[in-house]
Structure 1
Amino acid sequence: MTTDPRSAGRNLSLDALRGLAALAVVLHHYGFGYEVRVGPHNAAVPLFTAGHFGVELFFILSGFVITETLQRTPTLGDFIVNRVARLYPAFLVCCGLTLAVMALGGPNPLAVAPVSALAGLTMLSPIFQLPPIDPSHWTLCFEVSFYALAGLCFRRNMELACTIWLAAAVLSSSWLQTDMVNTAVLLYLPLVDLFIIGALLSRLVAGHLGILGLATFVAALGLTAHGPFADQGGLGRIGYVCLVLAFTGAVWAAATGRLRWLGRAPLVFLGTISYPLYLLHQILGFAIIRHLEAARWPAGAAIAAALAIVVLLSTLVRATVEVPAQRAIRRAWAARSPAAAEAHPEGALSPLQASGVR
């Protein structure tokens, strides 16, 4: 992977893409999502209805990066520990903050029952057909499930695994749209498609994609004509295909060093805090916006204040929980695993892990 030499191995353009995706999702929720879930703003604001398509970019990036991570991880045990260290400490802290906001009364329409909260702490709420703690957390069940499948299957023959996985998702798509339970999470075509596109793109960039993988990659791109899982922006199927192609091209261009100009400090910063920002922004942000608008703040100012506060909190979670916990867990694992110690000496984060990948 080509990177900016000033970034000590990190690809700042990929960080920037992640930052843009996170910002798009946040703005979508603070405009359109707020009016759907809480109530109308006290003044007209841009609703940014298409901002939820940032999730598509997240899934392509996740498939790309998890494949890169697997190539660098010596054993399945190392991969599992790295994923747990990457995901759960920040997740549990952010869930605690979100539950505290709910306990203090806001926003009431989004309160969750105790059983849902317990299920939500596993990241697997959709499997139990229960709502997550924060509505944004629904994607984590898919990510964790996809990571598990990738860890088990991609290390043997990644191209064949992707081909079988995509074929199974296509065959199951007719009934999974309304019955996403149990292993159905692994077969939900609109998101499986995106993850596979990212995974095979990683091998394409590395120059290691064979004929089978290339055919599966083209098929996955073509299957985006199946349509998005949601289309709140009214993009339509043709527009959606073009959007996914653009996202795929952007990740390819960033990974091959063609978007170095995109690696501006603000976007890179948003990329590094994208995981806690994604975890925290919705319920906390809704509560802040509702409180400020009730105090007669203009809607635009309330949204700006909510964004500033969640960015600050996300930065604190990143600095005080996410990175220290990753290092501590990996250091403890390295003490038990010689392979992990060699791959990550002294518990250090690899460039991809340090880059804030969700």
Structure 2
Amino acid sequence: MARGAEIKALTGVRIVAAVWVVLFHFRPLLYQVAPDITKALAPILNCGAQGVDLFFILSGFVLTWNYFERMGPSWSTRATLHFLWLRLSRVWPVYLVTLHLAALWVIFTLNVGHIPPEDVSPFNAVSYFRQLFLVQLWFQPYFDGSSWDGPAWSISAEWLAYLLFGALILVVFRVARATRARSLVLLAIAASTPPVVLMLVSGHIYTPWSWLPRIVMQFTAGALACAAVRKLDLSDTACRRAGYLSIPLVALVIGGLYFFDAHPLNTVGDAGGIVDLLFVPLMVLLAVGTGSLPAFLSTRLLVYGGQISFGLYMVHELVHTAWIWTVKQFEITLTPTLSGKATVFGLVALSVLGGVLLYHVVEEPARRWMRRMVDIKPADPPNRLHRIDGEQQARPTGVSARAG
């Protein structure tokens, strides 16, 4: 695989992680319309927040894959600023749209119906500017309530990782030069361990400032895992074996969730978070593997799903919030009937449609527009020869190019 080329299997993983988070937030509705199926899937659905951990590791991996050679050998302020602008062009447009949609929804509920929003105190000028510049999470120990659009907390966390990336890639580049691929994988797994250790010590994955080691260490783990993959030179047979090995590893993740749900640890309420340690080796296997699961994740449908996953992730909680208000406003009760199932399916479909629209109408056009701002070609020198009517003529000295 060419260095810097898209690893399609990892793009496909993005939609898996996004859907996991969406179903996590929608699970109360799923319980109402399909209680038996939802109970059977409860160990997976209840741990859907770990889809964000998967996103953090993926982000560190993919950015390192793309910028290892460009930013790793030596520090460049220009290259770092260019990187930050390109990252901003990727996340900021959709982020801004959903931020203001959340504000418009609050304004709507303040003026329509008899069900006001629960708390409008976070919607103030200071909070707005923190939201605008992606730093709202940095001032709060808990991510709940930090962002006007709920999932945006993770984008604030990612922005911190982006700001640290210029220094991180220098370290990872040098560690990679002195370390074998197998040891780099072990280092990556070790880097993903601190959030799990803190969870085991505290008993919960959601504790004050727990978001900070999650983003910093998991992002770093992804970067180290990528450095390991870049050093590997596997035969076709080894790549196929890696692809097949990813299947039992996924089964182990799912089996672990069910095991810890049935056999919870005495002092840990979120023991399913232990399976986060399997995400790094899974990313490595999917990145180098061929056939089987990597091939499935590389299909056109799942790759497209990965492309729209950011929009889906950012908009789904707005759909969920609007539905909760509608239920209270009109006293709607979901039942396990065909109409109830159709309603929940429609809400999920509406979220997916929102993700599609955000990708095609906002994300991609705005990204290309912002990229053009920093990809400007230098202007022609003042005395450059220009071909006019088949002849070459020099621009007269002292005459403005705008004269006449």
Separation in structure 2 between the aligned mates of residue 14 and residue 28 of structure 1, nearest angstrom: 21
TM-score, scaled relative to structure 2 = 0.63
Match of 1:244 in 2: 276
Aligned ranges for residues 59-70 of structure 1 at < 5 Å? Answer: 59-70=56-67
Match of 1:303 in 2: 344
Match of 1:134 in 2: 149
Structure 2: tracts of 5 or more residues without a match:
72-78, 110-114, 177-183, 233-259, 380-404
Separation in structure 1 between the aligned mates of residue 378 and residue 276 of structure 2, nearest angstrom: 40
Match of 2:218 in 1: 194
Once the two structures are superposed, what CA deviation does each residue of 1:247-304 show, in whole Å capped at 9, x if it has no partner?
Answer: 2232112211331123334432321111111111113223135526844554533321
Give the percent of matched residue pairs that are identical in Structure 1 and Structure 2. 26
SS in 1 for 2:146: coil
Match of 2:170 in 1: 155
Question: Out of 281, 287, 291, which is 1:255 matched to?
Answer: 287
Match of 2:47 in 1: 50
Q: Determine whether 1:124 maps to 2:135.
A: yes
Separation in structure 2 between the aligned mates of residue 19 and residue 113 of structure 1, nearest angstrom: 31
Q: Which amino acid aligns with 1:122?
A: F
Deviates most, 288-297 or 12-21: 288-297
Contact 1:59 1:195 in 2 (8 A): yes
Match of 2:360 in 1: 319
Match of 1:217 in 2: none
Separation in structure 1 between the aligned mates of residue 225 and residue 371 of structure 2, nearest angstrom: 28
Q: Which amino acid aligns with 2:81?
A: G
Match of 2:123 in 1: 113
Contact 1:22 1:274 in 2 (8 A): yes
CA RMSD, Structure 1 to Structure 2 (Å): 4.0
Q: Which amino acid aligns with 1:125?
A: Q
Q: Which amino acid aligns with 2:309?
A: S
Residues 232 and 287 (structure 1 numbering): CA distance in 2 closer, same or farther, change over 3 Å?
farther
Larger Rg: 2
Q: How many residues align?
A: 300
Residues 84 and 190 (structure 1 numbering): CA distance in 2 closer, same or farther, change over 3 Å?
closer
> How far apart are 1:98 and its partner, in Å?
2.2
Once the two structures are superposed, what CA deviation does each residue of 1:31-83 show, in whole Å capped at 9, x if it has no partner?
Answer: 15x79xxxx95884826212111112111101101212322646112211111
Match of 2:105 in 1: 101
> How far apart are 1:318 and its partner, in Å?
0.6
Separation in structure 2 between the aligned mates of residue 70 and residue 143 of structure 1, nearest angstrom: 16
Deviates most, 310-319 or 74-83: 74-83
Q: Which amino acid aligns with 2:373?
A: A
Separation in structure 2 between the aligned mates of residue 307 and residue 324 of structure 1, nearest angstrom: 25
SS in 2 for 1:109: coil
Match of 2:385 in 1: none
Match of 1:276 in 2: 311
Deviates most, 315-324 or 65-74: 65-74
Separation in structure 2 between the aligned mates of residue 304 and residue 272 of structure 1, nearest angstrom: 21
TM-score, scaled relative to structure 1 = 0.70
Contact 1:2 1:256 in 2 (8 A): no
Match of 2:161 in 1: 146
Separation in structure 1 between the aligned mates of residue 223 and residue 2 of structure 2, nearest angstrom: 17
Separation in structure 2 between the aligned mates of residue 63 and residue 156 of structure 1, nearest angstrom: 13
Separation in structure 2 between the aligned mates of residue 113 and residue 59 of structure 1, nearest angstrom: 27
> How far apart are 1:120 and its partner, in Å?
2.1
Residues 233 and 123 (structure 1 numbering): CA distance in 2 closer, same or farther, change over 3 Å?
farther
Contact 2:161 2:215 in 1 (8 A): no
Q: Which amino acid aligns with 1:240?
A: G
Residues 285 and 178 (structure 1 numbering): CA distance in 2 closer, same or farther, change over 3 Å?
closer
Contact 1:60 1:194 in 2 (8 A): yes
Contact 1:205 1:256 in 2 (8 A): yes
Match of 2:87 in 1: 83
Contact 2:20 2:48 in 1 (8 A): yes
Deviates most, 304-313 or 149-158: 149-158
SS in 1 for 2:6: coil
Once the two structures are superposed, what CA deviation does each residue of 1:224-269 show, in whole Å capped at 9, x if it has no partner?
Answer: xxxxxxx99997677533x224322321122113311233344323
- Higher relative contact order (Cα pairs below 8 Å, separated by 6+ residues): 1
> How far apart are 1:312 and its partner, in Å?
0.8
Q: Which amino acid aligns with 2:220?
A: I
Deviates most, 51-60 or 17-26: 51-60
Separation in structure 1 between the aligned mates of residue 81 and residue 229 of structure 2, nearest angstrom: 26
Residues 156 and 201 (structure 1 numbering): CA distance in 2 closer, same or farther, change over 3 Å?
closer
